[in-house]
Amino acid sequence: MNETKLCRRCGIVKPRSEFGVKNRGPGRKPGLVSRCKSCINEIGRTIQHPRRKAGLQQPQQPSIENPIEKTCTKCNITKPIVEFSPYYKNPTVLWHWSSYCNTCRSVYQREQVANGYERPEPGLALRLLEGKLKGVCDGKFKHGQKLLPFELTVAIIRSIIDSQTKDGQLYCAATGVLLDVESQDKPLSPSLDRIDNRFGYIDGNVRITSLIYNVARRKWDDDIVLDAIIKMATCDSSIIYTLPEFNWVGRVMERKRSQIKADAKRNNRPPLLIELTTTDVHIMVNLQSKGDQLHCAVTNTSLNRMSKSTPFSPSLDRIDNNFGYIHGNVRIVALIYNLARRQWDDNIVLSAIVTMATGINSLSV
C-alpha cells in the first residue's frame, strides 16, 4: 500500500498520516478523506468559523439510530424519514439520509440546471498526476528495478500545460499534434513523459506528449523515434535487412519466453500460452520477406539488422491480444510499432502514426 496520498484541494502529495479517517458507512472499510488536515483546518478558519460566528451555520443534528423523522436543513421543517433520500443501501443512523428533503432537493436541482450548472470534471493536471501516483511510494517512483524521485505537483503540471498550450489547445511537445484532452486511454491522449529517462519525475524533466508516443519512445532519443514515425507513415523501405540465420530466430524465441515469464510473475497471473517453435518463426520470416529484405507485417517498412534495441528491430506481435502466442495469431512487426500498439486496433495506431508524422513535418517547415 502506498504511504502517500494526493490532497484534492492543494494538489500536494503528502504522507497518509496527514489525512483524517473517513467512515464509509455500514459494511465498508474506513478510508481517508480527500483533503489533508491543513486544508481542512484552513477551511474551518476561513469559511466555517465566520459562518458559525454570524449564526449562519446549520446546527448539527444528533446521531439517532433507526430514526422515524428528520429536519430538512433547507426548509427547517421536520418530516417523516421517508421524505429523505438515503445515502447508503442499508441506512441505520440519521446522517445516512440526505440533508434536504426530496421536495427541496428537486427545487434545488432545478435551480442549478436553470443557472447553467454543470458537474465539474477533474482538471487535466490533477488527472495526469493521479495517473502517475499509482507507482509512487515515499516520494519515489518505481520504474522496473529502479526507484526514481517523484516531485511533481498540480502547480508544476499546470505550468507545463500552459507552456504547451496555443490558442486554448494543448499540443504534443515532441510531434506537435493536437492532443485529445477529453480522453484518457486513446493514442492521442495527453501523457506525462520524462525528457531524460535516467532521471525521475522532477521539475524540468517532464513534458506532455501523446500517449502512443510515450509508450513507443522507450529509451531512444527523440530524433530516432521521430524518424521512425515518418518511415512508418510513408512505408519507407530504405533500410536494408539481410535475412537472419536460424540461430537468430532461436534467440528471439528465448527472449520472448523469458519476457512472458517475467510479465506473469510481475502481474501475478498465469503465463501466456506459447505454441510457436523456431521453425514456425523462420517460416514467418520467409513469408514476410521480399527478396533479401524482411518487412513489417503492418507498416511494410524494412526491418533493420539483428540488433534487439533499435526501433526497426524485428519483434513478435500478437494479432489479437486476447489470445497467446499460438499459430495464426503471431506476426513480425517493427519493435517500435509493437510498443506503440498496446491494446488498440491496427487502424487506430496507423491513423495516429500518420497524424504524428504530419505534425512532425509541420514542425520542420
| 96 lies in the same domain as 180 | no
| 270 lies in the same domain as 355 | yes
Name the residue type at position 41: N
**Would you say residue 223 lies in a domain?**
no
Give the pLDDT score at 137.
62
Q: For the chain, how many structural domains are there in total?
A: 4
| 26 lies in the same domain as 108 | no
What is the extent of the structural domain holding 260?
246-364
Q: Which of 55-59, 103-107, 191-195, 261-265 has the lowest mean pLDDT?
A: 55-59
Q: Which helix (H) or strand (E) holds 99?
A: strand 97-101
Name the residue type at position 86: P
| 213 lies in the same domain as 253 | no
- In tens, the pLDDT along 197-220 reads 888 888 888 999 998 898 888 778
**Global confidence as pTM:** 0.62
| 135 lies in the same domain as 183 | yes
**Would you say residue 241 lies in a domain?**
no
| 265 lies in the same domain as 343 | yes
| 250 lies in the same domain as 360 | yes
Mean pLDDT over 102-108 rounds to 89
CATH code of 21's domain: 3.30.60
CATH code of 254's domain: 3.30.40
140 conformational bin, left if phi > 0, alpha if psi -120 to 50, beta if neither: beta
**Would you say residue 231 lies in a domain?**
no
> What is the spatial distance between Cα 155 and Cα 122, in angstroms, rounded to a whole number?
14
| 150 lies in the same domain as 260 | no
| 256 lies in the same domain as 335 | yes
